[in-house]
Structure 1
Amino acid sequence: MQSLIEIQQQLLPDLLVVMRKRYLILRQVMLSDMIGRRTLAASLDMTERVLRAETDFLKAQELLHIDAAGMRITEAGKRLMEKMEPFYKTMFGLSELEERIRKHFGLKQVVIVTGDADESPHTKRELGRAGCAVLSKAMQKDDVIAVTGGSTLAQVANQLTSHTPLKGNWFVPARGGLGESLDYQANTIVSTMAKRTGAQYRMLHVPDHLGEEAYTSLMQEPNVREIVEVIRKARIVIHGIGDAMVMARRRRVDAAVVDALKAEGALAESFGYYFDQGGAVVHKMLTVGLRIEDIMETEVVIAIAGGRSKGEAIAAVMRFGHDDVLVTDEAAALEIAAIIDKEEQTA
């Protein structure tokens, strides 16, 4: 396939431009379920006149269905998209980018989806779909899967399915709730994952951020101690990654701690820990659930995060060195590649 693509790039470069345009149209329609022409044109930064010509062609090929309500992809279109995905990644350099990031951080696998989650909710949904595929492949019989909160992990939960009920598997929250939107809390996400796969789940009804006295008291409760022991034995951890300052604000961290985080060079936050540029832990929240030593012993650790703004944060957590799989988007991957370039130039 690689040699054929190289020949096409040299002899028929316009063909690849047209193919990419039509692929992106079909992908955006598929992610949107149903979408109007004006909305689609805006999301693809394309004029309505150009878009109309392309969608009319795709309709004639029975890849799109168009009516007064809008456009939706046909079953034939979905099958074509599935066949095109690996070809698209190779054709536009995403496979090469995946391999470069994988080798640089010593990961087992990197999966990159097109787009920028900062700009498009459809890209975040695609991150969820890709995360589902990775998690489904990793899961085994009677597994315990620990899951953190956040909007990206919620997308994973909403799209996770299983052809056979996972009756012996358990989904558990990696830590307590953030006090944010209920939809994005780990308890809600594990409940959704379990219900969509026929698995079981446990909840952890404690705040995410605790004082030392409250932490000590809670850890003496038999029910809390029991669920924490289950969480800390998880074979799989699936987690998001946040910008350190953004996450500090969401957790309503006091000003003194924020100043300390800045002074320590905190760039990223994940599973309650803050990391600097080199991947070192510079601050940890006192939280019930997974500890850093548990992450270091976990068999499969999957990170799912995207958006250009998170490039530095993702790179920082990858340098920590205990993730096995990274699922990200094109915008974040390009930022990570730029960081790698700078490192190699100064090495």
Structure 2
Amino acid sequence: MKLENDLIKQDELQLMIKIAHLHYQEGWLQRHISNELGLSAAKVSTLLNKALEKGFVEIRIRDPFAPLSELEERIRTEYGLTFVKVVPGPFPSNIALKSKLGLHAALFLQKIVRKENIVGITGGSTINGMVTADVFNTHIPVMVVPINGGVSQSDYHYTGNTHAEKLAKQLGGSYLQVPFPTFVSSPDTKSAVMKDKSAEVLLKQAGKADIMVLGIGTVCTSLLTLPHISREIEIKKLKDKGVVAEVGGHFLDKDGEFVQTDFMERLIGIEFEKIKQAPMVMAIAGGIKKSNAIHSALLSEVINALIIDDPTANRLINS
């Protein structure tokens, strides 16, 4: 009797292995195996499950994106963020980099934005990649407003005003405009501008933003709208003060601490604390040259969500 039972078990084992071979290696469907071997579909399914349970079959999934997921989690944990998206390359050009970052930023924004939200936005070529990404497929009545001045003759397409208009049209919402540059020529000019009712109302709205969408600038990129001669002088002043990053017209040192500069007396925009108080602050930034600036901005604890490229993300973790 024992010998007979042993033979039955051996026959079932051989059948189990044969079915597993046909299904997992040859790619046969279960119904094909059932018809070919004259077994019920339930019997085939049972033997396949047994093969898995007993370890005769091992299924391994090679996830090519696993390293990126691990990288996202490391950055999220290290900097205390709620969301991180690491965008994989290749990036054949700086334009391609900003376009891909903008695409993923647009997809994230579409997930989190709600009707009647106020969306504050900055200027910058990376933000332009988001507002021109043709992926928004919903109508959301939002209000989009620049969080600082957005007038520039040389970089019109990259100003907060232009971005507010483009994003509002993509989402089907409305927008406001700040008819002044980010930095005016003197504190007296700022004082006069801030007394203007239109500027006061616009920036008050920006300060109430539910979502802030920010670029992260270096010392050099933050002053591109200034005349070349004065730009070089101002850059040196900022570097001497230890400035490495600019966020929303505000300057930060390598530790993410706010640096008081003469620009604060000339800034047409909302206060740094107002940015911090927004429920969601998402930053879009990339490029190895910006890694120190991004690190500084993240240390400031103003940012909740980050969209960044793979090489720069690795630099953040390994530096």
Shift of 1:161: 4.6
Does residue 277 of the first structure (1) align with residue 250 of the second (2)?
A: no
Q: Given the two structures, how large is their TM-score scaled by the length of structure 1?
A: 0.68
In structure 1, the partner of 2:191 is 216
**Structure 1 residue 254, shift from structure 2 partner:** 5.1
Pick one of 156, 164, 172 that aligns with 1:182. Answer: 156
Q: Is the 8 A contact 1:241 1:303 kept in 2?
A: yes
Find the aligned partners of 2:305 and 2:143 in 1 and give their Cα distance.
21
Q: Do the aligned partners of residues 117 and 226 (structure 1) sit closer, same or farther apart at CA in structure 2, a change above 3 Å counting? A: farther
Q: SS of 2:116's equivalent?
A: coil
Report the alpha carbon displacement of residue 226 of structure 1 after superposing the two structures with TM: 1.1
Amino acid at match of 1:141: K
The percentage of aligned residue pairs carrying the same residue is 27
Tell me, in whole angstroms, the C-alpha distance in 2 between the residues paired with 1:137 and 1:243.
29
- Structure 1 residue 204 and structure 2 residue 178: aligned? yes
Question: Which residue pairs with 1:298 in the alignment?
Answer: 278
Corresponding residue SS for 1:159: coil
Q: Mind listing any 5+ residue stretches in structure 2 that lack a counterpart? A: 1-61
Aligned residues: 251
Cα distance change on mapping 1:186 and 1:177 into 2, 3 Å: same
Which residue is 2:301 aligned to? Answer: 321
Corresponding residue for residue 172 of structure 1: 145
Contact 1:118–1:308 under 8 Å retained in 2: no
Shift of 1:264: 2.0
Q: 1:161 to 1:274 in 2, by over 3 A?
A: same
TM-score (norm 2): 0.74
SS at 2:195's partner residue?
A: coil
Q: CA RMSD in A?
A: 2.0
Structure 1 gap ranges (5+): 1-85, 340-347
Separation (CA, whole Å) in 2 of partners of 1:154 and 1:243: 17
1:240 pairs with 2:240: no
Which stretch has the larger CA shift, 257-266 or 220-229? 257-266
Q: Name the CA shift for 1:117/1:178 in 2 (closer, same or farther; >3 Å).
A: farther
Post-superposition, which runs of at least 4 consecutive aligned residues in structure 1 deviate over 6 A? none
Say if 2:118 is the partner of 1:153.
no
Distance apart, 1:311 and its partner CA: 0.9
2:239 corresponds in structure 1 to: 262
AA of the residue aligned to 2:65: K
Q: For residues 120 and 224 of structure 1, do their structure 2 counterparts lie closer, same or farther at Cα, with a shift above 3 Å needed?
A: closer
Q: 1:276 deviation in Å?
A: 1.0
Aligned to 2:137: 163
Residue 115 of structure 1 aligns with an amino acid whose one-letter code is G
User: How far off is 1:258 after superposition?
Assistant: 2.8
Q: 1:103 aligns with which of 77, 80, 88?
A: 77
Look up the SS of the partner of 1:137 in the other structure.
helix
Q: How does 1:25-104 map to 2 (within 5 A)?
A: 87-90=63-66, 93-104=67-78
